Chains A and B, each alone.
Chain A
């Protein structure tokens, strides 16, 4: 511990990027808080997901699968497949952060899309700024994400029937907003369409949750060869 030189001054550009990302992403916590309540999770359970899981796509997935009647196991499996990329981010960040002990525990918990993204975005400013970007964004998103989860959950509790407020469409719209920027080429768009078709085709015949997680096999098939 302590071998990474902590710079006393925070770079203004890095801090601005970190804060704006933290706040904007944190706002999505409102959608998650509402989605948790709409899927019949309690306020405490919804907040526990944001505090402990702290990975947006995984959290949406687990409430989505259980809200659709899926088992805990299929919810956990789907959420965990979406969390694998955080392990890859961790591998990318570890040589930069060089952290051990409790700092590694905190650092691991805030290793997500945004903290990794901002850290990599500071590469021209040097490693110290990359570390600052990682910590400021990771901790910033953590704080805002959890505050806005409570706001969204309390708001949804006050609303009553999710369909009357359009929450039943807001949740898949949020998923669509998450997947849209990832569809950058023909193969990815074809995979998205195939996954939709497979999951809908399976829905009447297998247990809830299975249609979603089975599309991971499509991802393996599509990704097996470099070109199709």
Chain B
């Protein structure tokens, strides 16, 4: 089986397992405040890392290219409280334009 299929099916199996587990355990186990705090922070760490790596990395190399222009537009859009589709499309448009005219 290819790496991609292993990733698809492995992710899906664990994702469902976690959801089903949640529906099956007594509520008292979620009351630990430390577990709750860390669980709130994990998505922030992972998503921030994904933002950084997908903006500045190409395989194991760090570089600056058209994506930084797109991400700057995304940051400005978010600061202006733009809705999610505007953030994504604005960033794509800025990056594509930079790719065509400078790249």
Contact = CB atoms under 8 A, between A and B. Distances in A.
A48 interface: yes
B52 to A, nearest CB: 4
Contacts of A53: 8, 11-12, 15-16
B102 interface: no
Contacts of A164: 96, 99-100
Most central of B43, B66, B70, B73 by chain A CB within 10 Å: B43
Contacts of B97: 166
A19 interface: no
A80 interface: yes
Q: Main SS of the interface on chain A?
A: helix
22 contacts: A52-B15, A69-B60, A71-B3, A72-B4, A72-B10, A85-B39, A89-B19, A90-B18, A90-B21, A91-B23, A108-B22, A109-B19, A164-B100, A173-B74, A174-B88, A176-B78, A182-B40, A195-B44, A200-B53, A215-B48, A218-B45, A219-B46
A199 to B, nearest CB: 4
A218 B52 CA distance: 15
B39 A177 contact: no
Nearest to A179: B47
Contacts of B37: 223, 226
A10 interface: no
Interface in B14-55: 14-16, 18-25, 27, 29-30, 33-34, 36-55
Contacts of A224: 34, 38
A118 B16 CA distance: 20
B14 A108 contact: no
Interface residues of B, number: 77
A108 B49 contact: no
A79 B66 CA distance: 27
Contacts of A40: 4
A220 interface: yes
A94 B12 contact: no
Most central of B19, B45, B54, B88 by chain A CB within 10 Å: B45
A126 interface: no
Nearest to B43: A82
A79 B92 CA distance: 24
A170 interface: yes
Given A80-B18, A171-B54, A192-B48, 18 more contacts: A49-B8, A53-B8, A72-B10, A79-B14, A87-B19, A90-B20, A95-B27, A97-B23, A105-B20, A166-B96, A166-B97, A170-B92, A177-B84, A191-B41, A193-B48, A196-B48, A212-B50, A216-B45
B78 A195 contact: no
